[in-house]
Amino acid sequence: MRFLTLVALMAVGTFAAAADHTSMNHKCPVDGKAVDATVKMMPYNSKTDQTAKASPGSDKAMVGFCSMKCCETYEKDPSKYQDALEKEKAATK
Report if residue 15 sits inside a domain. Answer: no
Report if residue 77 sits inside a domain. Answer: yes
Report if residue 63 sits inside a domain. Answer: yes
Report the alpha-carbon distance of residue 55 to residue 64 in Å, rounded: 14
Report if residue 64 sits inside a domain. Answer: yes
Report if residue 5 sits inside a domain. Answer: no
* Residue spans of alpha helices (H) in 1-93: 2-20, 68-76, 82-91
Report if residue 3 sits inside a domain. Answer: no
Q: Are 80 and 88 in contact (CB under 8 A)?
A: no
pLDDT digits (tens, 9 = 90+) for 16-53: 444 456 888 999 999 999 999 999 999 887 665 554 44
pTM: 0.64
Query: What is the domain count for the chain?
Result: 1
Q: What is the CA radius of gyration of the chain?
A: 15
Report if residue 50 sits inside a domain. Answer: yes
Q: Are 40 and 71 in contact (CB under 8 A)?
A: yes
Domain range for 34 is 22-91
Average pLDDT in the chain: 75
The 10 Å CB-count burial string (b at 16+, else e) for 42-53 is bebbbeeeeeee
